[in-house]
Amino acid sequence: MNRNPSLDKITRLAAKARARAWQARALDWWTPVVGPAGVRAEVYVDMVSQLFWAEQVALGALAKMMVELPEREARDFLATQIVDEDRHAQVYRGYLERLGDMKPLDPGLGEVFAVADAWTGPTWGRVAALNVMMEHEALHQQQRRIAMLPCPLFKQINTRIAADESRHAGFGVLYLEHVVPKATAAEKAEVMAWMGELWTLWRAANKGRYQADGEHVLRLDADELEQRGRRVAATLSSLGLNTGGSRVAA
C-alpha cells in the first residue's frame, strides 16, 4: 500500500486516463473543413503541421521519461500519455490529409525541441519542461484556437485533445509535488536555468510567426507571451521552483 499522496493521485489519474481514452475514428471526419477567413491555406496548413510535429516530439520525450523515471506509478501514467500523444499525432495527421498538404517542422520550434531533447540533468527536469511548462502552454493555445478558429472538425479535434493535455499537465504538477521537495538547491537551479533557456527559445520561435494581415487570428503577441511566462513562473514557484529573477518570466 502506497502512502504517498501525490503518487496515489497519479495512480487515480492513470485510471481516469484509461477510462476516458477515445479513438480517432470517433470524430466526425466527414464534416467540411473550413480555413479561417483571411489566412492563406498554406499558413493554416503550417500551423496544423507544427501541432503534429509537437506531438511527435512529445512522444520522443515520453520514451525517455519512461526509461528515466523511477516510480512505477509515474510510468503507469506515462503509458497512458504515450497512447494519448500517439492518437493526437494520428488525428492531426488525418486533419492535414483533409487539408491535402503538410509542412516541415519550423526551424525555431525545432531549436526549442532540440534543446529540450538534449537534457542530461535531473530526470524530473523533463517532466517540468514537458508536462508543466509545455502542456500548460499547449492547453492555453488549444483553448484559444477552439474559441477563435471556425472549422467545426478542428474544434472537435482540439476539444478532445485539450481534455487529454489537461490531464498531462495535472500529472506534471503532481509529480513535481512528489519530487521537488527532495531535490537539492543545485538541481533546482540547473532545471530552472534550462527551462529559462527553453522559454526564451519558445518566445523567439513565436515572435516572427503569423505577422501578415489577416493572420492575427493565429498570432501569439509579445504581450500575451509575457503574460503566459508569468503564469508558468507562478505555477513553478508554487511547486517550490524559485523563479526569482528567472528568465522564464522575462
8 Å CB contact between 76 and 11 = yes
Please tell me whether residue 88 binds Fe ion under the rule CB under 5 A. yes
**CA dist., res. 166 & res. 140, Å (int):** 10
Please tell me whether residue 46 binds Fe ion under the rule CB under 5 A. no
User: Between 131 and 206, whose beta carbon lies closer to Fe ion?
Assistant: 131
Q: How many residues bind Fe ion (CB under 5 A)?
A: 5
Please tell me whether residue 140 binds Fe ion under the rule CB under 5 A. no
User: Between 125 and 183, whose beta carbon lies closer to Fe ion?
Assistant: 125
Residue of 46, 73, 85, 137 that binds Fe ion (CB under 5 A): 85
Q: How far is CA 194 from the centre of its chain?
A: 17
Stretch of residues binding Fe ion (CB under 5 A), selected from 23-31, 166-174, 221-229, 241-249: 166-174
8 Å CB contact between 46 and 103 = yes
How many Cβ atoms are within 10 Å of 7's Cβ, its own excluded?
19
First to last CA, the chain: 44
**Shortest distance, position 212 Cβ to Fe ion, whole Å:** 28
**Shortest distance, position 201 Cβ to Fe ion, whole Å:** 19
Q: What is the DSSP letter of 212?
A: S
- Summarize as ranges the residues that interact with Fe ion (CB under 5 A): 55, 85, 88, 165, 168
